[in-house]
Amino acid sequence: MSKINVSVDCVIFGFDTDLSLKVLLITKKENPKSFSIFRTKKLTALPGDLIKTNEELNPAATRILKSLTSIDKIYLKQFAVFSDPMRVKHPKDQAWLKSFRKHPEERVITVGYISLVDIQKFNPKASYFADEVLWTSIEEIPELTFDHNQIIEEALKFLRKELNHKMSSILLPKNFTMPQLQKLHEDILDKKIDKRNFRKQILREGIVFKTTYVNKTGRKGKPAVFYQFCDENEF
134 and 185 share one domain: no
191 and 155 share one domain: no
63 and 178 share one domain: no
Quote the domain boundaries for residue 181: 165-234
CB neighbourhood size of 170 (10 A): 18
97 and 179 share one domain: no
Contacts of 204 (CB under 8 A, 6+ apart): none
DSSP for 153-180, written as a single string = HHHHHHHHHH--HHHHHHHS-SSEEHHH
212 and 110 share one domain: no
97 and 26 share one domain: yes
> Which pLDDT score is estimated for 218?
54
Q: pTM value?
A: 0.87
> Which pLDDT score is estimated for 180?
92
Listed residues 162, 178, 205: the one ending a domain: 162
Q: What is the pLDDT of residues 126-135, one digit of tens each?
A: 888 788 999 9
Helices (H), ranges, the chain:
37-40, 57-69, 91-98, 148-162, 165-171, 178-189, 195-205
104 and 197 share one domain: no
Q: Is 17 exposed, middle or buried (0-12, 13-18, 19+ CB in 10 A)?
A: exposed
> Which pLDDT score is estimated for 165?
87
Residue 197 contacts residue 205 (beta carbons within 8 Å): no
Q: Which residues of the chain carry a pLDDT beneath 70?
A: 1-2, 30-41, 100, 216-221, 232-235
Domain count, the chain: 2
CB neighbourhood size of 197 (10 A): 9
> Which pLDDT score is estimated for 72?
87
| CATH code at position 171 | 1.10.10.10
> Which pLDDT score is estimated for 48?
93
98 and 175 share one domain: no
> Which pLDDT score is estimated for 30?
63
Listed residues 124, 146, 162: the one ending a domain: 162
> Which pLDDT score is estimated for 223?
76
Q: What is the pLDDT of residues 172-201, one digit of tens each?
A: 999 999 999 999 999 999 999 999 999 999
Residue 138 contacts residue 23 (beta carbons within 8 Å): yes
Listed residues 162, 177, 211: the one ending a domain: 162
Q: Which residues of 71-81 are buried (b: 16+ CB within 10 A; e: fewer)?
A: beebebeebbe
192 and 214 share one domain: yes
What is the sign of the dihedral through the CA atoms of 58, 75, 22 and 128?
Answer: negative
| CATH code at position 158 | 3.90.79.10
60 and 91 share one domain: yes
47 and 136 share one domain: yes
